[in-house]
Amino acid sequence: MADYRPGAVFGPRVLPSYELVWLLSGSARWRTEMLDADGAVTGDEVVTLRPGVVSLARRGHREVFHWDASRPSSHAFVHFFMDDPGHLGDPSAWPRVRDMSQAPILQALCAYLLDLAGLQSPLSRWRSDECVRLLLDLFVVGPLSQGPQLSPLVRAAVDYVAGVWSGAGFRIVAVEETATAAAVSVGHLHRVFRDAYGCGPARAFELVRLARAATALQRSNLSLAEIAGEYGFSSPYHFSRRFAATYGTPPGAFRRTQSAADAMWPVRQAGLLSLAHLLP
């Protein structure tokens, strides 16, 4: 780890190795110059770094960091050498930064590397090497989650429903109520949801409730009546009718025959996973 006073500058320097850097606090303007074999600049790039972003610098490039002018900054880093990139391909084509908020596994690996650095044992050093290999592989090749990509209006509606469900359970939230919370008309909220998901907000949130109920059928001993009540259906009959219309089988048969089925498939098929992940 390294700490910098407000307005500090580090560099320019030509990197003798590859380096992964992730900010812990503050920010930085990171300028990289690509050099040819004679040391002439062939291109440059400027990137703003902030907490939650991990950057990858290439060996032989020249870089300079201009640290946050208004507050102290700190970052963690790891240097590594690599003779043959193998399946990772040409390093010049590698991504330069990744947003760890969109790929939480990178954040977890970076945190684990910091923990390992304090252990100073042969096992921790070996494990650090393995973690750097995996971190680099995921950084370059992936696949990595793209994270929830929601419009501000959909996000406002989801945040409101999430708050209701967290406090009052999985009740039906009227579209009028959701539209009021999002400060738009009911018609406009319908249009935005239909354009994004092919269904209105009431159906979108019902699909999430049904998926939660399907998971409960597979992974709990709750009765059908208890599941119906838990996930906001007015009666077992209402739950069974809506479930069968979506999953193609009644909930009792689903429990008996589809214990290994993907309970989220209607949500996945409708493109609602990023929305569902933000709800209780």
Q: For the segment 17-51, what is each residue's pLDDT rounded down to a tens digit?
A: 999 999 999 999 999 998 888 888 888 889 888 88
Residue 200 has pLDDT above 90, yes or no: yes
Residue ranges matching CATH 1.10.10.60 in the chain: 152-276
Mean pLDDT estimate for the chain: 91
Residue ranges matching CATH 2.60.120.280 in the chain: 2-140
The CATH fold of domain 152-276: Arc Repressor Mutant, subunit A (1.10.10)
Which pLDDT belongs to residue 106?
87
When computed from its CA atoms, the radius of gyration of the chain, rounded to whole angstroms, is: 25
Q: Which CATH number fits domain 2-140: 3.40.50.2000, 2.60.120.280, 1.20.950.20, 3.50.30.30?
A: 2.60.120.280
pTM (predicted TM-score):
0.60
Which pLDDT belongs to residue 156?
93
The stretch 237-247 carries a mean pLDDT of 97
Which pLDDT belongs to residue 120?
84
Tell which wins on pLDDT, 149 or 111.
Answer: 111
Residue 153 has pLDDT above 80, yes or no: yes
Confidence of residue 163 (pLDDT cuts 50, 70, 90): very high
Which pLDDT belongs to residue 133?
94
Which pLDDT belongs to residue 148?
56
